[in-house]
Amino acid sequence: MLLNPCDLAAVIEADRHRGEARRHAHERGLRETRVERPALPARLIAAFTRVVRQDRRLLTDLACRLPDGKIGRVAMVQRDGDWLMVCRVA
C-alpha cells in the first residue's frame, strides 16, 4: 500500500517529534542541576592532608607479594619515628 506524499510527510514529522518533550525535560534538568562542592577551606584542608600523607607513605619501584597473592609495591611508612618497608596495593 502506497502512502500519498502528504500522509508520508505527516508520518515523518510525527517520528521526528516522538519523545521530544521527554528529551527537552531531560536537557532542562541537566542544565538546572547545580553541582555542589565543598567549601574552599575544606578543599584546602583536604589538599594539605593529601600532601602530608604522601610524605609519610612513599611508594617505591620495588615489587612485592600481597597476602592475597597479587603484586603490590613496597612503601616506606614512618611509624614512631622509624621508617618501615611494607607491601601496599599499587
Per-residue pLDDT at 57: 57
0.75 surpassed by pTM = no
Q: Give how far Cα 26 sits from Cα of 16, 62, 72, Å.
A: 17, 50, 44
Please indicate, yes or no, if residue 50 is contained in any of the structural domains: no
Per-residue pLDDT at 65: 92
Select from 71, 52, 55 the least CA-distant residue to 63: 71
Please indicate, yes or no, if residue 64 is contained in any of the structural domains: yes
33-81 pLDDT, tens digit each = 777 788 888 889 888 877 766 655 577 888 999 899 999 888 888 788 8
31 vs 5: which has the higher pLDDT? 31
Domain that holds residue 16: 1-32
Query: Per the structure, how many domains does the chain have?
Result: 2
Per-residue pLDDT at 89: 80
Please indicate, yes or no, if residue 8 is contained in any of the structural domains: yes
